[in-house]
Amino acid sequence: MPNHIFGRSTKGALPTAVAGDGCYLIDASGKRYLDGSGGAAVSCLGHSNAAVRAALHAQLDQVAFAHTGFFTSEPAEQLADTLVAAAPEGIERVYLVSGGSEAVEASLKLARQYFLEIGQPQRHRVIARRQSYHGNTLGALATGGNEWRRAQFAPMLVETSHISPCYEYRERAEGESLEAYGLRAADELEAEIQRLGPESVMAFVAEPVVGATAGAVPAVPGYLKRIREICDRHGVLLILDEVMCGMGRTGYLFACQEDGVSPDMITIAKGLGAGYQPIGALLVQGKIYDAIAAGSGFFQHGHTYMGHAMAAAAANAVLGEIQSRDLLMRVRAQGEKLDAALRAELGQNPHVGDIRGRGLFRGVELVESRETKAPFDPARKLNARIKAEAFAAGLICYPMGGTIDGQRGDHVLLAPPFIIEDAQIDELVGKLSGAIRVALA
Ligand code: PMP
């Protein structure tokens, strides 16, 4: 096979995916892989979903692309209506883009423009959290908490500082209640705003459940409510990045709905197109849109493919499936089963430090010692070995090395399709456990 594609790694050829069948992907040799991570929390409906395929065929027969500088389209309008109706209180407008980084980038620029238009030009600083990922474009990269990802591109264009990611397993003190820890983690935001000067801070950005960088670490009860209060007190915008944890992944269409919090903006992507089309969205509170409408009337941003009719048609079909097949309930039920199976299989393993998550968004953190929570030596490349062993056994999972910053262990992220059956949960956990055993040996 010709090999001219320039991917992320220049080492080694990858198998060619030729077909999808529910929770499985199939390569050119006929080997089947159970998609235990939905790629990276993307394929929420599994592969080859009939309703999405039918919707895409139908849309292709009507119109695929009409530039948003000239036209709107039925699927894009319908998608925005559905999202606004389902979103937390106050969300009134939707800005459609093609992926997660684009959504985060748009949120940062919209926040900046909002403060310019309401006469607060000094607000430009962003506060985010350590161990977070918000995308790879320059603004999103500046926002993410991974020092090592940013290092070679410094200095960044957006001035960002980072506080606690609300990481109970690593940060809760002996004897401290979950609630007390949540408030303590949130109060780091207050301290950081004071340090920077409240009038200079534009936005706080966070994932309600931290995805790839920490392995499904959920906000503890009360944390996001306290964050909301602090943002309100200082006029700082709260941007929740639900690119990974949104679109039903946690058992709620928006993860923050479980926390009872309404942010100023929400970013979504991945599960919105479920892998069938590249699409992302920025959901925006009415007051932000209204300020721009009353001011310049023009958001200084835009992408050629925004509001693409095919992408919107796919997203409408995805949301239709989630609703008509009651998949949020299913995510909660199957998520409990996955959690129980992980605990039964791995709970006694002396190197499994933590099993956590919400819905079908779960993480397993591996440590050298349970007592000290010391991470493994990065030279062991444990995560790469788990990934390779699992893949050889026909399981796609999403391990990440955490030891680079010395602040967390290696972890495996699991985000299977919402349609996962009980027997497939057993297959997933069995293969993962085997891969961990071999990698640790
Ligand atoms: N935000 C979060 C929370 C993500 O997990 C990701 C992707 N892993 C992004 C933003 C960036 O999305 P994309 O890769 O679609 O640009």
Q: What are 18-66's pLDDT values in tens digits?
A: 999 999 999 999 999 999 999 999 999 999 999 999 999 999 999 999 9
* Ligand 1 binding pocket includes 213 (Cβ within 6 Å): no
Q: Where in the chain is the domain with CATH 3.40.640.10?
A: 54-324
Q: What are 268-315's pLDDT values in tens digits?
A: 999 999 999 999 999 999 999 999 999 999 999 999 999 999 999 999
| Peptide bond before residue 198 is cis, with ω within 30 degrees of 0 | no
> What is the model's pLDDT at position 1?
57
> What is the model's pLDDT at position 303?
95
Nearest to 386 by CA among 420, 431, 423: 431
Q: Give the mean pLDDT of 215-235.
A: 97
Q: Which atom of ligand 1 is nearest to the CA of 99?
A: 15
* Ligand 1 binding pocket includes 101 (Cβ within 6 Å): yes
pLDDT at 7 over 90: no
CA of 101 to the centre of ligand 1 (A): 6
Q: Does ipTM come in above 0.85?
A: yes
Contact 123, 202 (CB under 8 A): yes
- Assigned fold of 54-324: Aspartate Aminotransferase; domain 2 (3.40.640)
CA of 403 to the centre of ligand 1 (A): 21
* Ligand 1 binding pocket includes 133 (Cβ within 6 Å): yes
* Ligand 1 binding pocket includes 104 (Cβ within 6 Å): yes
Mutation pick for ligand 1 pocket among 44, 133, 207 (CB with most ligand atoms within 8 Å)? 133
Q: How confident is the model at residue 403 (pLDDT cuts 50, 70, 90)?
A: low
- CATH (residue range 17-48+326-440): 3.90.1150.10
Q: Give the mean pLDDT of 126-149.
A: 94
* Ligand 1 binding pocket includes 100 (Cβ within 6 Å): yes
pLDDT at 256 over 90: yes
CA of 103 to the centre of ligand 1 (A): 9
Q: Which atom of ligand 1 is nearest to the CA of 104?
A: 10
Q: Which atom of ligand 1 is nearest to the CA of 100?
A: 12
pLDDT at 176 over 80: yes
Q: How confident is the model at residue 216 (pLDDT cuts 50, 70, 90)?
A: very high
* Ligand 1 binding pocket includes 212 (Cβ within 6 Å): yes
Q: Where in the chain is the domain with CATH 3.90.1150.10?
A: 17-48+326-440
Share of the chain above pLDDT 70, in %: 98
> What is the model's pLDDT at position 402?
61
Backbone angles phi, psi at 109, to 5 degrees: -70, -35
Q: How confident is the model at residue 380 (pLDDT cuts 50, 70, 90)?
A: confident
> What is the model's pLDDT at position 9?
77
CA of 175 to the centre of ligand 1 (A): 35
pLDDT at 366 over 70: yes
Helix (H) or strand (E) holding 413: strand 410-414
Mutation pick for ligand 1 pocket among 244, 266, 267, 272 (CB with most ligand atoms within 8 Å)? 244
Q: What are 346-360's pLDDT values in tens digits?
A: 999 999 999 999 999
CA of 112 to the centre of ligand 1 (A): 21
Which protein residue's CA is at the shortest distance from atom 10 of ligand 1? 134
